Amino acid sequence: MTALEAHGLWKYYGDFAALQQVSFEFAAGSCIALLGRNGAGKTTLLRILAGLSQTSEGQVRILGGNPRQPAIRARIGIIGHGIGVYDELSAEENLLTFARLYAIDHPAKAVDHWLERTDLDRVRRGLAREFSRGMRQRLAIARAFIHNPNFLILDEPFTSLDDRAIALLQGLLKDALAQGATVVLSTHQLKEALELASHVLLLNRGKLAFTGTRTADMLVDPGWVYRHYGEPTASASPANGESTAA
């Protein structure tokens, strides 16, 4: 079953075409590493997939429907650039708010489960603004997973995460994939992304440069896909394609 399809996507900001004639299809259960340099159009594409932005031309279907349909949105989990939690609310209040927005059957139970899973149950009544950066990130992860989504959209999810949050997120993504979820993951940290990915989608200046299965070559040499399909001048620099994860 096709979980994600895009046909002839264009997105303009004024005269600037951020996406140009982008088309692809991925089956359910795929983990797609969305790669590309800064300004390639990754975030624009992810915002369209998440239903946060409209296309100028073309069509996107997620799990067989328009991403703006509430029934489809209820099955999508998102981690974007911001953590998407309210500083003035406690961890518990934040999760309870989103559990109610996603119309979860037993919101309090789900909140307890995710506070425990993200190791925030001891500080459940603490305000998010008083949390450390790592705790806030774990709260954001709990917020994105609280409704057990079967389609995940993650924009630079590993950036500025501490090792504990990276391990938590990787574990959750592996669990979600094992249960048949589809994951779209944009990142500059190629090593982490390619280890999880079953497919790769490379954007270059708004155009689709490569789409296909993640191969063993890419795992051995994470910069391989950039050198073969990316911008010729930039790909000459080894640093451009290498993982930045330390």
143 binds other proteins (CB under 8 A): yes
Cα four-point dihedral sign 12, 18, 22, 26: negative
User: What is the rounded CA–CA span in Å between residue 189 and residue 77?
Assistant: 21
Sheet holding 16-27, edge to edge: 16-27, 2-13, 57-62
Least distance to other proteins from the beta carbon of 172, Å? 17
Least distance to other proteins from the beta carbon of 55, Å? 10
Which of 31, 50, 193, 209 is the binder for other proteins (CB under 8 A)?
A: 50
10 binds other proteins (CB under 8 A): no
Least distance to other proteins from the beta carbon of 69, Å? 9
53 binds other proteins (CB under 8 A): yes
Least distance to other proteins from the beta carbon of 37, Å? 22
Least distance to other proteins from the beta carbon of 82, Å? 2
Q: Which is nearer to other proteins, 56 or 198 (CB)?
A: 56
51 binds other proteins (CB under 8 A): yes
Q: Of residues 59-78, which lie at the interface with other proteins (CB under 8 A)? A: 68, 70-71, 73-74, 76, 78
Least distance to other proteins from the beta carbon of 147, Å? 9
Least distance to other proteins from the beta carbon of 11, Å? 11
Residue 223: phi and psi, rounded to 5, are -85, 0
Q: Which is nearer to other proteins, 87 or 116 (CB)?
A: 87
Which of 64, 81, 109, 148 is the binder for other proteins (CB under 8 A)?
A: 81
Q: Of residues 82-121, which lie at the interface with other proteins (CB under 8 A)? A: 82-89, 93, 97-98, 100-103
Q: How many residues bind other proteins (CB under 8 A)?
A: 31
3-state secondary structure the chain: CEEEEEEEEEEEECCEEEEEEEEEEEECCCEEEEECCCCCCHHHHHHHHCCCCCCCEEEEEECCECCCCHHHHCCEEEECCCCCCCCCCEHHHHHHHHHHHCCCCCHHHHHHHHHHHCCCHHHCCCEHHHCCHHHHHHHHHHHHHCCCCCEEEEECCCCCCCHHHHHHHHHHHHHHHHCCCEEEEECCCHHHHHHHCCEEEEEECCEEEEEEECCHHHHHCCCHHHHHHCCHHHHCCHHHHCCCCC
Q: Which is nearer to other proteins, 53 or 240 (CB)?
A: 53
12 binds other proteins (CB under 8 A): no
Task: Catalog residues that contact other proteins under the rule CB under 8 A.
Answer: 50-54, 68, 70-71, 73-74, 76, 78, 80-89, 93, 97-98, 100-103, 127, 143
